[in-house]
Chains A and B, each alone.
Chain A
Amino acid sequence: MYLEAVGNQIVGAYPSMSHPTNEGRICVRGWHVHEVASSLDRLKSPLLKADGQFREVSWDEAIGFIAGRMKEIRARHGPDALAFLNSPRCSNEEAYLLQKLARAVIGTNNVDHGTGVYCNNSINVLLDMLGVPATTSSISELARSEVIVVDGVDLARQLPTIGGAVLRAKLAGAKLVVIDSRRHRVAESADFFLQLKPGTEPVLYGAMAKVIVDRGLMNLPFIKAHCRGYEEFLARVRDYDLLAAAESCGVAAEQIEAAALAYARARSAAILYSTGIEARDAAPVEAIVNLALLTGQLGKEGAGIFALTEHNNLQGVCDMGVLPDRLPGYRKIADDGARAEVEAVWGVQLPAKPGLASRSLLADRGKGQVRALWLCRYDPVSTAFFGDAANVLQQCELVVAQHLFLTESARYAHVVLPTTAFGEERVTFTNTERRIQLAEQVIEPLPGTSPAWQQLTQVARALGADWKYDSAADVMDEIGTVVPFYSGANYANLAAEYGRQWPCTKDRPLGTRSLFAEGLPAGGFKFMPITRDIQVTAPADYPLTLVFGHSLYYWNQNVLIQHSETLKREYRMLLLDYPEGFVEMNPDDAKQLGIRDGEKIRLHAAGGSAVTAARVTPEVRRGAVFVPYFVRQVQQQIRGTTENGVQLIPVRVVKEAG
């Protein structure tokens, strides 16, 4: 992507025709990304809060204050009283230094990224079953897939660049299977659209595996050579029954059968799912990997598992170890050998106990343990749909916010450090196909701001650490020594073409387009038996299922949206049409209940009730009610009463008078 600058202002953005991932196609956010740097709302000075009011202070004063308070809190309460969170939009260099500040300087593993709650399920499953925590293939390979399965992600809204690759593959002859409880844009083009009941994915995949086993379509040579745990898996598969599964999932048995046969018979079949905001437990991811192993759909051009990361650098922040239980490069923090290797580079001893995850931090400060919170470009008050960030931030003794803007979260901060924007610094991001890319600097930073990685360095030095990074390139050089699969990713190499896909090592400086392309690890993959224990019958009092964390409208809370004129209009439009927020219902359900589009309704759950408006749309399956995650009232009044993090809640909907 190119940014056009006139003088020292970014005035336009457009895609590169030759980029191997998007080939000249970007989404509406990309076309407007230039508006962020030139927003009039940018912060231009560090802010320090005194008597509830922010005042502008010098960098020295701000950094000195932060270091002083952090020292005090650590001395009084220990290093685990501090925690560090970032946004999945942070650069690799920022992410790396943030976790290094936490681990090496403060001495805590309390580091996590804002989307960790869901994404980390996918990372753990993939690491366990495949040994790699990322998409196995390249987006451009989808053009060669014979069958593409899209599971639970509205590609048109959330990842249009990949949605486009899927649509074009379909136009070129690939068969498209869409598994989703929503009839979204890409589903319109599907050959097989399996509109299942929310939360029944593992049953559906179990039934598909059963069909494949019954027809003898397993890839036994592949399984024998590369997989463990097949017998146990097979034993569980026999528990599944196609007709019973069809009943539980609400999908016709013929559809399930046809999708399973298409997938198993394809020369190359890809499965795409999102690791992001959507409800994503471990079980459906395990079921997806099982299916790929069963049919040997790995290590071939056009096949593979696409664990799509919904944010520009969700892959990168995980690679950099912004995880409470893993070091940079995904090695377990509890692993003595792994720690020793990193300790040798950093020259300090590292804490061995895994830290607190974002969910626990934003629920109750890890049972009140945490007193200082660092937010690197992260705005949980507006974007986290779990916990109660505003309350947590209020209770903290120290909140440091690094951001372009005075976000909702930054308002609760004690110190705010203004950062540089996209186009004002030279840093790297890693996309969903493992491509480490260099974002070039095209203009001078706005006066009064500085790169977030530099701010982290200044604080570390103020705390007595001997950090010497003159540029983000120096940080990447160190990353190369700590993260084995980044060892060839220096800036000169990354600048040469369109970035490099990891593993990008000294021996493979050009990177790796497709994992396992040059041979599959012997016995390196593992099946995971999945027990059929799903409960899907709704209680009679609460016949509908409320689905939370529905990310279709997720982008409405992106920083970009709030600072782009056109996108802001698109967002306002939703708020104007539905001033009290909305939940989405199927027209048949709505008709039965006498509810029309835009009407006020009340949702009753076992633990609470909430008033909102109904958006009636055929995109939603019968029996499901979707809550876009910016509708906080519903979140708090219904979900707040349940165990934290429950994704599916039985409800009853009634029309509300007035």
Chain B
Amino acid sequence: MKARILEHGDVLKIVDLLREQGHEVFAPFAGRGRDTWFDLVTDENRGRVQVHLPNPYYPPKRFVLPHIERLMKVRKSNGDIQIEPTYRDRKRAIFGIRSCDVAGIWHLDRFYLGRDFRDLYYEKRRKNLFLVNVVCTDPERDIGEECFCPCADTGPAARENFDLQVMDLGDEFMVVAGSPAGEAFFANPMFKQATEAHVEKRRAILGEVRKRFKTTTSWFPATVRYVSQGTILDKTWEEIGSRCLECGGCTYVCPACTCFTVSDRQIGPGEIERVRIWDACALSGFTRMAGGHNPRRAVHDRRNRRFFRKLAHYFIQRELSMACVGCGRCAAVCHGDIGMPSVVEMIRRATAENDKLQPV
């Protein structure tokens, strides 16, 4: 991958270039307290775009998989049925997407585009999306209490699946091109030649940043084995389930959660729209089948489902990555503290207790 150097004051010029190319650019802004969000960049707010800030809680996956979207309109007229799909294919860019969320979008790509059936709605959005990854380097502002991307091997610097990657080296930014479209930017003279010293500095900073993660860790490997082998006791799942308050929040904030439901609703005489909405495995209607059977009626069965889906070897093999990117959002959103890091710990602890030998 090719790398260039950008003067410190020029980093938002990437946003300007993207806008000049006709992209709708979404970038992070800071609000009250630790609150941050992605918003559409306009002439008015462009100066307030932030490079270093806590990763927005409401994940950028909504730019490829909206919270709610219309898929099509269906109209009945003179015995005929007309179907009019609603595609959104504007050129969009996300400036400042963190490495965990880049991994999240890649995971969604594998799910929605990686197999026989390609999801057209997702594909049109994704094809038109340009990603400018920002590497988390500031332990105070970038790295949250719940971040654990080193455990999920997704950060702090993404290795692929971005168009451009921006990393703060202190006095200047290093910019890495991850795609031909990204590399095309280097034609602009503001991108200067990088030296071996720059590369070395990047390596040194990343080595340092990896040590600056806070309290959260998630030691996946053994848990993946226990989950895949089904050796986790029901008692442990029940303990996890009884702390779930069924809000669905973990799914909604997860950059790698793919689930949705589809509903038809009347919009006029003889006319309906079909919408797709984020869904959550915590909700009991999620797995209920026509006829009334619900294989996951008990809450702990539904929680079990979430972690099986994310950590079982079968799914990892199918999608080439765990469906957890280490962003820590589920740990922050959970009422009962059963986000990924806690659950991994509970499973490991329970299994360790199980292993205790009885001296005779």
Contacts and interface: CB of A to CB of B under 8 A. Distances in A.
Contact of A25 (B249, B261, B285): B249
Interface string A362-397: 000000000000000000000000000000000000
Contact of B283 (A28, A498, A572): A28
A17 B332 contact: yes
B261 A188 contact: no
A565 B261 contact: yes
Contacts of A40: 265-267
A141 B32 CA distance: 22
A150 to B, nearest CB: 13
Contacts of B246: 28, 156, 160
Interface stretch (B42-50, B61-69, B309-317): B61-69
Interface string A301-341: 00000000000000000000000000000000000000000
A87 B68 CA distance: 28
Interface stretch (B109-117, B148-156, B207-215, B333-341): B333-341
A189 B335 contact: no
B249 A565 contact: no
A189 B243 contact: yes
A16 B33 contact: yes
A35 B288 CA distance: 23
Nearest to B253: A14
B335 A570 contact: no
Given A12-B67, A17-B33, A164-B335, A188 B242 contact: yes
A161 interface: yes
Interface string A145-178: 0000000000110001101110110010000000
Interface string A170-200: 0100000000000001001100000000000
A34 interface: yes
B299 interface: yes
Contact of A565 (B33, B34, B54, B263): B263
Contacts of B128: none
B205 interface: no
A565 B69 CA distance: 12
Contacts of B249: 15, 25-26, 31
A556 B265 CA distance: 19
Nearest to B290: A576
Interface in A8-32: 11-12, 14-18, 24-28, 30-31
Contacts of B285: 566, 569-570, 572-573
Nearest to A578: B292
Q: Chain B: interface secondary structure? A: loop
Contact of B245 (A156, A565, A573): A156
Given A569-B261, A569-B285, A28 B35 contact: no
Nearest to B273: A40
A2 B37 contact: yes
A17 B35 contact: yes
A254 to B, nearest CB: 23
Interface in A550-592: 565-566, 568-570, 572-573, 576-577
A65 B164 CA distance: 64
B277 interface: yes
B101 interface: no
A584 to B, nearest CB: 15
A2 B247 contact: no
A4 B335 CA distance: 23
A624 to B, nearest CB: 21
A157 B246 CA distance: 8
Nearest to B246: A28
Contacts of A17: 33-35, 54, 57, 332
Contacts of A163: 245, 335
Contacts of B168: none
B57 A566 contact: no
A497 interface: yes
A142 to B, nearest CB: 12
A2 B334 CA distance: 18
Given A17-B33, A31-B249, A34-B67, A2 B58 contact: yes
Interface string A20-60: 00001111101100110010100000000000000000000
B245 A189 contact: no
A48 B290 CA distance: 41
Nearest to B278: A566
A63 to B, nearest CB: 29
Contacts of B279: 566
B332 to A, nearest CB: 5
Given A25-B333, A160-B247, A573-B284, A31 B252 contact: yes
B169 interface: no
Given A168-B336, A497-B32, A565 B292 contact: no
Contacts of A572: 285
B336 A24 contact: no
Interface in B284-328: 284-285, 288, 292, 299
B275 interface: yes
Given A17-B332, A28-B247, A189-B243, A570 B34 contact: no
A576 B292 contact: yes
A25 B34 contact: no
A18 B335 contact: no
Most central of A4, A188, A566 by chain B CB within 10 Å: A566
A27 B57 contact: no
B157 to A, nearest CB: 24
Most central of A11, A160, A565, A568 by chain B CB within 10 Å: A565
Interface in B207-248: 242-248
A576 B293 CA distance: 11
Interface in A571-622: 572-573, 576-577
A167 B261 contact: no
Contacts of A4: 37, 58, 62, 67
B242 A566 contact: no
Contact of B299 (A161, A185, A565, A568): A185
Contacts of B265: 40, 565
A566 B279 CA distance: 7
A26 B335 CA distance: 8
Contact of B34 (A18, A171, A188): A18
A14 B68 CA distance: 13
A569 B280 CA distance: 12
B57 A15 contact: yes
A435 to B, nearest CB: 15
Nearest to B69: A11
Contacts of B244: 185
Given A17-B34, A18-B33, A31-B249, A160 B335 contact: yes
A31 B257 CA distance: 15
A25 B32 contact: no
Given A11-B66, A164-B336, A566 B261 contact: yes
Nearest to B66: A11
Nearest to A13: B67
A16 B66 CA distance: 19
Contact of A16 (B32, B277, B284, B335): B32
A321 B336 CA distance: 36
A653 B35 CA distance: 54
A577 B245 contact: no
Contacts of B336: 164, 167-168
Interface string A487-500: 00000000001100
B114 to A, nearest CB: 26
Given A2-B58, A17-B34, A24-B57, 12 more contacts: A11-B68, A12-B66, A17-B35, A24-B332, A25-B249, A34-B67, A160-B335, A164-B334, A164-B336, A165-B335, A185-B245, A566-B248
Sort A-B residue pairs by CB-CB distance and give the 7 closest, nearest first: A164-B335, A18-B33, A188-B242, A12-B67, A14-B58, A160-B245, A565-B263
9 contacts: A4-B58, A14-B252, A17-B332, A18-B32, A24-B332, A28-B246, A160-B247, A164-B334, A570-B284
Interface of B: 32-35, 37, 54, 57-58, 62, 66-68, 242-249, 252-253, 261, 263, 265-267, 275, 277-280, 283-285, 288, 292, 299, 332-337
